[in-house]
Amino acid sequence: MKSFLANKTPYFFIAPAIILLSLFSILPIFVALFISFTDLDLVGIADWSLVSFVGLENYKEVVSDPIFVKSILNTLFYVVIGVPLVIVLSLAIALMINFGKARIFKAFRVVFYMPSITNVVAVAVVWSYLYNPHLGLFNYILNLFHLPDVPWLQDPTIAKISLILLALWRAIGLNMIIFLAALQGIPKTYYEAAQLDGANNWKQLTKITIPLLRYAIFFVSITTMIGWLQFFEEPFVMTNGGPLDSTTSVALFIYRNGFQFSNFGYAAAGSFLLFIAIIIITMIQFKIQNKQQDY
Amino acid sequence: MKFSAVSNQSLSKSIKQERRQQWVVGIILALGGILVSLPFVWMILSAFKPESEVMALTPTLFPEKWTIENFKNLFVNMNFGLYLKNTVVVVLWSFVGLFLNAMAGYAFAKFEFKGSKQLFFMVLATMMIPGQVTMIPVYLILNQMHLINTMAGIVLPGLVGAFGIFLFRQFMTTIPDELLEAARLDGAGELRVFWQIVLPMTKPILAVQGIFTFIAGWNSFLWPLIIANDESLYTLSVGLQLLKGQYGGNFALQMAGSTFMVVPIVIIFILFQKYIIDGYTISGMK
């Protein structure tokens, strides 16, 4: 009896978590794959007999959908500009904070980390106000220096950059902390030895710090890249994809087709393409990382 | 004698240089810090301005006339009281989820059972699945379970998380087996061992996870947005999104709503920032 109970205990402990994860993470993958081959919509949810298989039709349609193509290009724009900016800025801030000896430098950690824990809707509302063409603070400051107004959210290209600025502001904190943790893991003796050999700060940075941060940089670049490929909340709350779909990301495209147009099958096909893209890009990054290790 | 004087001179020179560098870096960080905090400062100050002052073409930094009218409006013209209640319910449920994560982490850390490796691998694998892929099927599954437009539908999809389970497992493997065995020999049941011995020993990780759970629950946006069809289930962030749509031109009211959402988190963060920032070292995120 006792051994029977002892055998059951772990299952009792994991059961709730495993059931919830299976139901809301594992099962949905198969459901998504299944419905991406069907024409499921609002009518279909009410009466499943009206749902029919359409084979690869959804996939064919979605890759020739001009808005989907545009959303891919927009997402690539976000990734190509956003990811390097996040890495460089959060690393630079972490290095500076780590360099400082006074107590005030610890307070900077809090200041720079703050944006990353605040609510995305609240933040988007605040930034919409800052970006407002007539009443916004940004244009007012520009005017103070006799610079012309910037159409922050009205011009297709500038709107994308404005969203990147907001997302950058939110992303720096977390990555800065990761870099700081990694920096503190570097033994002080390395620097002492380098100083004895007469290496200046720049040499120490490029020859010791950066190489030893390789894994942290890799970790941050992978997670940041995956995050930006799923860029959603900022365009959703601030511009709703506009002007003229110039800020629509792939994730927003999927959300819109799923929950605003109720084309569930079509949206599922789009989401699977995004999933595959994320897997391929992550694998390429791992390949590159492995190659670099050979040297 | 002469030699040491020279070296002293060069030493004091390098100290001076070092001090100058410290100042330069400090000033750069301070400027960056001001830039980063600007949106918060502007939000809070604007929230206390009357609407006319916010709409003026030459903005003022500090309100000429401080008012709490905007905050009153949130509760009178909008249903912020209700949204607050719903948000608190979501937060409480997410703490149940935290508890379930801890339970699962404990079982993976301290028990050997059939399929434990495979199940743990499955848990980790769920971390790689992007939210956009599961969004639509989860909605359909909840629809089949008749949970659309219910609180259960809002909280269930995100109740447990692989990352939380993983962190608990990592931390709990360090608890000595002898301690658990001793408690069992004393006749403590498995639940009691977990509740009275394991949980108190996981305090550091529990603190970090607790703060993050609170923040995530307070900020939860996507599932309330998708699942709640009528206002009675809206959380603060969904309500704020609604406010932006309905009172698009009233920035004073919008800033008050944002301040109401952001300031509690900022206070909690400042109170517990040591746990949060040090938590990354505990979590082994190096």
| DSSP three-state, residue A151 | coil
Structural domain contains residue B263: no
Contact A135, B54 (CB under 8 A): yes
| DSSP three-state, residue A38 | strand
Structural domain contains residue B262: no
Of B21, B36, B108, the CB nearest to A115: B36
Whole-number pLDDT of residue B1: 43
Between A47 and A130, the more confident residue is: A130
- Cross-chain Cβ contact A102/B22 below 8 Å: yes
Helix, strand, coil proportions of chain B in percent (round to 5)? 80, 0, 20
Examine the pLDDT at A130 and tell me if it is beyond 80. Answer: yes
Of A109, A115, A135, the CB nearest to B277: A109
Decide if B4 touches A, using CB distance below 8 A: no
Tell me the C-alpha distance between A243 and A182, whole Å. Answer: 41
Whole-number pLDDT of residue A1: 41
Residues B11 and B122 in one domain: no
On average, the pLDDT of chain A sits at 87
Dihedral sign of CA atoms A221, A165, B208, B116 in order: negative
Residues B105 and B214 in one domain: yes
Decide if B265 touches A, using CB distance below 8 A: yes
Residues B30 and B97 in one domain: no
Of A104, A237, A275, the CB nearest to B241: A237
Rounded average pLDDT over A95-102 = 88
Examine the pLDDT at B29 and tell me if it is beyond 70. Answer: yes
Residues B147 and B49 in one domain: no
Q: To probe the interface with A, which of B17, B42, B136 has the most A CB atoms within 10 Å?
A: B136
Whole-number pLDDT of residue B141: 92
Examine the pLDDT at A84 and tell me if it is beyond 90. Answer: yes
Structural domain contains residue B156: yes
Provide the token pair at B230: 């009528």
Q: Determine the distance in angstroms separating the CA of A185 from the nearest CA of chain B, rounded to an integer.
A: 8
Provide the token pair at A93: 């801030």
Provide ipTM, 2 decimals.
0.84
Task: Please count the residue pairs, one from chain A and one from chain B, whose beta carbons lie less than 8 angstroms apart.
Answer: 265
Contact A216, A179 (CB under 8 A): yes
Examine the pLDDT at A7 and tell me if it is beyond 80. Answer: no
Of B131, B165, B237, the CB nearest to A119: B237
Amino acid letter for position B164: G
Rounded average pLDDT over A11-29 = 92
Chain B residues whose beta carbon lies within 8 Å of the beta carbon of residue A24 = 134, 138, 141, 156-158
Rounded average pLDDT over A37-59 = 83
For residue B122, the enclosing domain spans 78-246
- Cross-chain Cβ contact B113/A10 below 8 Å: yes
Would you state the torsion angle of the CA atoms of residues A20, A21, A22, A25, taken in this order, to the nearest 10 degrees? 120
Chain A residues whose beta carbon lies within 8 Å of the beta carbon of residue B138 = 24, 28
Of A10, A201, A274, the CB nearest to B111: A10
Rounded average pLDDT over A247-271 = 91
Tell me the C-alpha distance between A148 and A162, whole Å. Answer: 16
- Weakest mean pLDDT among A288-292, B68-72, B131-135: A288-292
CATH number for the domain spanning B116: value is 1.10.3720.10
Contact A113, B212 (CB under 8 A): no
Q: What are the Cα distances from residue A165, in Å, to A153, A176, B36, B214?
A: 12, 16, 11, 27
Q: What is the pLDDT of residues B267-282, one digit of tens each?
A: 888 888 777 766 665 5
- Cross-chain Cβ contact B132/A182 below 8 Å: no
Q: Determine the distance in angstroms separating the CA of B170 from the nearest CA of chain A, rounded to an integer.
A: 15
Q: Determine the distance in angstroms separating the CA of B181 from the nearest CA of chain A, rounded to an integer.
A: 12
Give the angle B97-B166-A293 at the CA atoms, nearest 5°.
145
Tell me the C-alpha distance between B155 and A35, whole Å. Answer: 24
Residues B119 and B234 in one domain: yes
Instruction: For chain A, give the number of residues.
Output: 295
Whole-number pLDDT of residue A169: 93
Chain A residues whose beta carbon lies within 8 Å of the beta carbon of residue B126 = 21, 25-26
Whole-number pLDDT of residue B286: 37
Residues B126 and B231 in one domain: yes
Structural domain contains residue B32: yes
Chain B residues whose beta carbon lies within 8 Å of the beta carbon of residue A13 = 103-104, 106-107, 111, 190, 194
Provide the token pair at B161: 């998380």
Radius of gyration of chain A from its Cα atoms, rounded to whole angstroms:
24
Residues B47 and B82 in one domain: no
Structural domain contains residue B285: no
Name the B residues in 27-86 with CB < 8 Å from any A CB.
28-30, 32-33, 36-40, 42-43, 46, 54-55, 57-59
DSSP tag of A268: H
Contact B107, A17 (CB under 8 A): no
- Cross-chain Cβ contact B103/A112 below 8 Å: no
Q: What is the pLDDT of residues B199-248, one digit of tens each?
A: 988 888 888 888 889 988 999 888 999 899 888 899 999 999 888 888 87
Whole-number pLDDT of residue B280: 61
Structural domain contains residue B199: yes
What is the pLDDT confidence band of residue B7, given thresholds at 50, 70 and 90? low
Chain B residues whose beta carbon lies within 8 Å of the beta carbon of residue A100 = 22, 25-26, 29
Query: Which residue is closest to B271 within chain A, CA to CA?
Result: A110
Whole-number pLDDT of residue A250: 93
Distant-in-sequence, close-in-space partners of A256: CB < 8 Å, separation ≥ 6? A241, A248
Q: How many domains does chain B have?
A: 2
DSSP string for residues in B54-96? HHSSS--SS-SS---HHHHHHHHTS-HHHHHHHHHHHHHHHHH
Residues B235 and B115 in one domain: yes
- The CATH number of domain A59-294 is 3.60.15.10: no
Q: Determine the distance in angstroms separating the CA of A11 from the nearest CA of chain B, rounded to an integer.
A: 8
Query: Which residue is closest to B53 within chain A, CA to CA?
Result: A135
Whole-number pLDDT of residue B282: 54
DSSP tag of B158: G
Name the B residues in 94-153 with CB < 8 Å from any A CB.
100-101, 103-104, 106-108, 111, 113, 116, 119, 122-123, 126, 129-141, 143
Tell me the C-alpha distance between B22 and A104, whole Å. Answer: 11
Query: Which residue is closest to A271 within chain B, CA to CA?
Result: B133
